[in-house]
Structure 1
Amino acid sequence: MIHKYLNLKKYLSFIMRQFVNFLSPFIKKWEDRFIKKYLLKPLKYQPVFIIGAPRTGSTILYQVITNQLDILYVNNLVCKFYKNLFFGFWLSDKLFKQKAHDCFKSDHGDTSTCGLNSPSECGGFWYKWLRDDKHFIDYDEITDEIVHQIRDELTAVINYFDKPLIFKNLNAGQRMRLLHKCFPEAKFIFIKREPLFTAQSILKAKRKEGLNDNDFWSIMPYNVEELKKLSTYEQIVKQIYFLEKQILEDSKLFDKKSLLSIDYKELGDDFENTVKKCQKFISTDEKTEFKKAEIKLREKVSLKEDEIKSFSQEIEKLDWENYSDK
C-alpha cells in the first residue's frame, strides 16, 4: 500500500513538473514586463546567502530566520517555478501572503513534508546556468550573460516586493566569485561547527542514505576528484576543510561587514540571540505573527571510539587557524 502511495506521489510530481514546464514560456511573457521594469531601479536590498559545510546547522538556521524575520525566501512553491522565479514569488505571495511557515523539521535540507510555504534550497534555479555535477565556479566559467540574467531576476524580485531576499543553498559558498560579479555587496551568513562533529554527522548522513562510507556526499570543493581517492576519514575532514577554506579566501572579495559568522553552538545555547544578530545583519524586522522555534541542539559523540579517533587524527593534521596545509 505504501509503495503504491509513493509511486502515485512520484507520478503526480512528474505530471506537475511537465505541466509547469509547458506553461513556462507563456509565464515568461507575462513576467518579463515586470522584470524589465523593476531591474532598472536601484537595488533596494542586497541578497543574503547562508553558506558553510554540510551538516553545520544551516537548514534549521534558515528555517528559523525565514519564519521569524520579514524577508523573502524561495519556498517549495516558488521552487516549482524556478524557471520563472518572479512569477513563483508573485503566486506564493497571493496564496500565502508571506505568512510564517512554522516548519522546523527537514530531511537533510528537504522540507517538502512541511508543505509548499516551507523554505527550499532550490538548486534548480542555479542549475539553469551552472552544472549540477560541479559546485566550485571559477572566473573562466563566468560569462556576462550568466551574470546579467542572475542579477536581473533577483533584482526584479527584491525591488518588486521591497524586502531582503535570503538563499540557503550551500553550493553558494563555492560560487562566491560568481556572486561577487552579480552582487559586489551581497551578504553572507557563514555557519561553522566543530570539525569533529561535522565529520561525524556527514558520515552518519551517508549511512542513512545507504551510501558507502567512502562515497563522496553533498557539497564539492574545487579538488573533489582528489578527495574521492582518499580514505573515508581523511576525505570527509578535507571536504570540510577545503569548503571552508574556499569561503574564507573568496570572502576577501567582499567588504568585511558583508560576512556574519555563526557558530553551531550558538544555535543550542541562545538561538534567539542568534536570530537577533541575523536580523540586525540583514536589516529587517520581525514578522507580526510567527511560531517561535523550540530548538535544543547539543553536541555528542555517537560513533565508535576508533572512528572518532580516526577523525581526530585527520583533523589534527590540518591548520584550522590559518586554513593552509601544514
Structure 2
Amino acid sequence: MQLETISNIPDEPYLHLLEKVDFNPIFIMGDHRSGTTVLYQILVATACFNYLKASHIIKYDEILENHINRTQERTRQELENLFKSLEISDRQFDKVKPTPDLPEEYGFILKNAGYESYLNPENLRLFVQLCQKIQFASNSDKPLLLKNPWCFPHFMYIKSVLPKAKFVFIHRNPIHVMNSKLKAVRLILSVESSYIQLISKRYHEIFDNPMRRLLFRVMYSSLFGLGVRRVTQTSMLATTYYLENIQSLPTTDYISIKYEDLCQSPESTILKVLEFLQLEAKTTVDYDKEIAPRPVKLLPEVENSSDEICRKLQPYLVHCGYQV
C-alpha cells in the first residue's frame, strides 16, 4: 500500500490553481538607497497596482490558503500584534513604519529560499510562482508592481524572460546613494532590527553569528576606507551595466526619473510615470505628504572621496544630468 505524501506547506494543495494565472510585471529599477522605496510606496498609494507586501514575505507559504479560506485579515491582525509585541516602530535605517501591508522587495523571498537575491535562471520558477500568487490573491485586473534593487544590474535578463515587462528607472546622485548605503548598513549591523529579522533569514543568521557580523561591520567600516571603497565598487558595477544596456531596451518599455525631481515635484513626477504606464490614479493622493526628504550630511570618508567618485562615475553623472 502506497502512503500518501503529506506536505507541510499550507499552499501546496492550491498550487495547481496558478497554472493559468497571467501577469505582466512593472519593475521599479534603481540602486539601493536611490529612492526605490519612496517611489514604490507612492505608486502603491494610487491604488493602481497589485504589489508584494511584508505579509507575503513573512507568510509566503500561506498566501493561497489565506486567500481561499478568507483568513487574510486574521493573518494580518496576527502580524500587527506581533509587530506591536516586538515594539517595531520603523525599519530603523530609513524611518519607514512597517506594517503587514508595507510594499517590500521580492529579493527577500528569493534569498530566504536559498537563491541569489536577484532574478536568474535558478530562481526564475520561484519568482514566477510568487508573482502568480500575488495576482491570484489580489485584484486580477490590476498590473503587478515590483521592486528589488538587486535586479538593477540584471534588467536585460528580466526582459529576456519576461518580454512584456515594463521598467521605471529611478536615479539619484551617486554620492548621496553611497552615503546613504553606508549609514544604513552600519546602523542595521550595529543595532538589531526586529523587523528585518522577520523578513530576512540572512540578516537573522548574521546576528546569530558574532564573528560573521563583525566581518560585515569591518567590511563597511571607515577602517582603511573599506566601506566607501566597497559601495563605490558596487555603484560602479551597477551604473556601468545600466549605461551599457539601456540602449538595448525599447523606449516604449521604460521611463527614467530622478529622485531629486520626485522630491521637488512629486505629483508631476508620479503623473508622468502613470501616463507612461497608461494608468490613472484610482484614489486621491497627497503627493507632497508622501515625500519627506531629509538634508544630506555626508560622512567624512564620502566627502573626502567625492572628487574621485565623481571621476569614476562621470559617464553616469553626465547621462543623468548631474553636475560634475
Deviations 1:286-321 (A, max 9, x none): 2336665512425534434x6413232232234324
Q: Please give the alpha-carbon distance, in whole angstroms, between the structure 2 residues aligned to 1:253 and 1:167.
A: 21
1:270 to 265, 279, 294: 265
Is the aligned partner of 1:47 residue 2:25?
yes
Counterpart of 1:186? 165
- Indicate how the Cα distance of structure 1 residues 320 and 286 shifts in structure 2: closer, same or farther if over 3 A, else same: same
Q: Please give the alpha-carbon distance, in whole angstroms, between the structure 1 residues aligned to 2:184 and 2:303.
A: 16
Counterpart of 2:12? 28
1:122-141 equivalence runs, <5 A: 122-127=106-111, 131-132=115-116, 135=117
Counterpart of 1:78? 56
- Indicate how the Cα distance of structure 1 residues 308 and 276 shifts in structure 2: closer, same or farther if over 3 A, else same: same
**Unaligned stretches of 5+ in structure 2?**
1-5, 75-89, 191-213, 320-324
Counterpart of 1:297? 293
- Indicate how the Cα distance of structure 1 residues 123 and 88 shifts in structure 2: closer, same or farther if over 3 A, else same: farther
AA partner of residue 118 (structure 1): L
**Unaligned stretches of 5+ in structure 1?**
1-21, 97-104, 218-228
Deviations 1:79-124 (A, max 9, x none): 223245555676899539xxxxxxxx6444795x432122122434
Structure 1 outlier segments of 4+, above 6 Å:
88-93
Deviations 1:162-189 (A, max 9, x none): 2111112111213324422431121121
AA partner of residue 47 (structure 1): P
CA contact (8 A) 2:110 2:118 kept: no
Local SS of the residue matching 2:219: coil
Counterpart of 2:281? 286
CA contact (8 A) 1:52 1:247 kept: no
1:58 to 36, 39, 50: 36
Counterpart of 1:171? 150
- Indicate how the Cα distance of structure 1 residues 287 and 95 shifts in structure 2: closer, same or farther if over 3 A, else same: farther
1:88-103 equivalence runs, <5 A: 95=73
Deviation, 1:276, is 1.0
Q: Please give the alpha-carbon distance, in whole angstroms, between the structure 1 residues aligned to 2:56 and 2:247.
A: 32
Residue identity over aligned pairs, in percent, reads 20
The number of equivalent residue pairs is 269
CA contact (8 A) 1:69 1:279 kept: no
Q: Please give the alpha-carbon distance, in whole angstroms, between the structure 2 residues aligned to 1:126 and 1:136.
A: 8
CA contact (8 A) 1:86 1:156 kept: yes
1:245 to 240, 251, 255: 240
